[in-house]
Amino acid sequence: MLDRKRVSEMLSEERHIEPSRQGDPDLGPLRLLPGTWSNSTLPGRGWNAIALPFATAPNSTFNYRLLLNQYNETLRFTLVDKAVKNRGISSDAVPVDADQVVVALDYEQLITQINQDDSPRSGKAGNPNTVIHHEPGLWLHLLDEANNGLDIARLAAIPHGDSVLALGRSIPVFEGAPVILPMDTLPLGVKQDLNDPYLEPYLHFHNHPFMGLFDPTQPHALLLQANAGVNILRTTQLTVDSTIPTGGISNIPFIVRQANATSMRSTFWIQELDERDINGDPKLRLQYLQVVMLEFFGRRDGLPGRIGWPHVSINTMEKVVERRVPGMVAAGAATGTDAEPNIVKAHEVAKAAR
């Protein structure tokens, strides 16, 4: 959280948009995000598991398929929108201005699958080198008048027809590696037993991990494996959750009817390593674990409502760094190359149009 002096300064500043800069103190816990993160040096560290409605053979015990993807990702943070004011007054008998200041950092995510499989086999899993996700959005640093310690938020727009607002709290820089706990990824509203015939697709990939590595019932294991032997000096944790009051997900009618996305929770761990990049600065890594709950089909445990299916995504990426030009003022400046040249540069187009 910024000190009161800086908050007061921004309350008097004109709102402005500028290229994002790594290390910018106005970004608070988001300050290491600007630039480009990629799997270019850690290929294939992205993994995804999602259950989808699927018309299986007649008399089958289930009508869904479990789709798994191994992927590469480019995550770019380009522009910062500073001194964004939310206007308000206090609730005291003598009202006074009680404005909030927000600093917004935009992002664009592009994910390309490199391997894929599903159970039962559907013929719909797609091909390698296929784009499977594109997401523009914003991370917000809530500087003042924050409620219940909520100091960050994430807004996301997904072309399937979903919009997300998730709120959360950052954990400031702490020493060492993150603590990544096991999580339950079996669907909710069904018998929690892999030997139940209804969960056969999960049992299949539990017994035969995808690509010999990814067990969708234990997705955290690959994040821990990626950290084995890596000396992580410091970590910043960002956790946001759409179920926090005033957060939520809105979907187009088809999504609501067929596979309603009802919640999203994601944790990002920004890590400073005991290694140096080409400029002699600490090498940076980014890990995340995200769970989106999808609801379809009636629960099988006698309770009302629909089954909740966890859609799990994990990845481990590194910050893309270019060699600094001698004399360049770049102590913490964001640098990055186009790790995937086909990513849509909507931000540059928007900037040129201003």
User: Among 88-102, 248-262, 331-345, whose mean pLDDT is lowest?
Assistant: 331-345
233: left (phi over 0), alpha (psi -120 to 50) or beta: alpha
d(CA 112, CA 70): 9
Listed residue (55, 240, 69) closest to 166, CA to CA: 240
Would you call 114 exposed, middle or buried from its count of C-beta atoms within 10 A (0-12, 13-18, 19+)? middle
- Answer left, alpha or beta for residue 223, where phi above 0 means left and psi between -120 and 50 means alpha: alpha
| Mean pLDDT within 137-141 | 97
Written as six digits, the tokens of 203 are: 């049992």
User: Quick check: 84 and 143 in contact, CB under 8 A?
Assistant: no
pLDDT band at 145 (very low <50, low <70, confident <90, very high): low
Per-residue pLDDT tens over the stretch 264-292: 999 999 999 999 999 999 999 999 999 99
Distance CA 187, CA 301 (A): 12
Average per-residue pLDDT for the chain: 90
Bridging pattern class, strands 282-298 and 306-319: antiparallel
**Per-residue pLDDT for 330 more than 50?**
no
* Residue-level pLDDT at 337: 38
pLDDT in tens, 17-49: 999 999 999 999 999 999 999 999 999 999 999
**Mean pLDDT within 153-170:** 97
Higher-confidence residue: 49 or 338?
49
Who's near 323: CB < 8 A, 6+ residues apart?
278, 279
Residue among 316, 315, 320 nearest 340 (CA): 320
Instruction: Give the pLDDT band of residue 353 (cuts 50, 70, 90).
Output: very low
Query: What amino acid is encoded at 250 in this protein?
Result: S
Q: 59 or 110: whose pLDDT is higher?
A: 110
Rounded Cα distance, 46 and 24, in Å = 28
pLDDT > 80? residue 349? no
Q: How confident is the model at residue 93 (pLDDT cuts 50, 70, 90)?
A: low
Residue 352 pLDDT: 39
Q: Which amino acid is at 66?
A: L
Beta bridge partners of 166: 154
Show the tokens assigned to 119. 């159970």
CA angle at 118 for the pair 113 and 124, rounded to the nearest 5°: 70
Q: How far is C-alpha 50 from the geometric centre of its chain's CA atoms? A: 15
pTM strictly above 0.85? yes
Residues 40 and 320: their CA atoms lie apart, in Å, by: 8
Domains defined along the chain, listed by start: 4-353 (2.40.128.20)
Tell me the residue length of the chain: 354
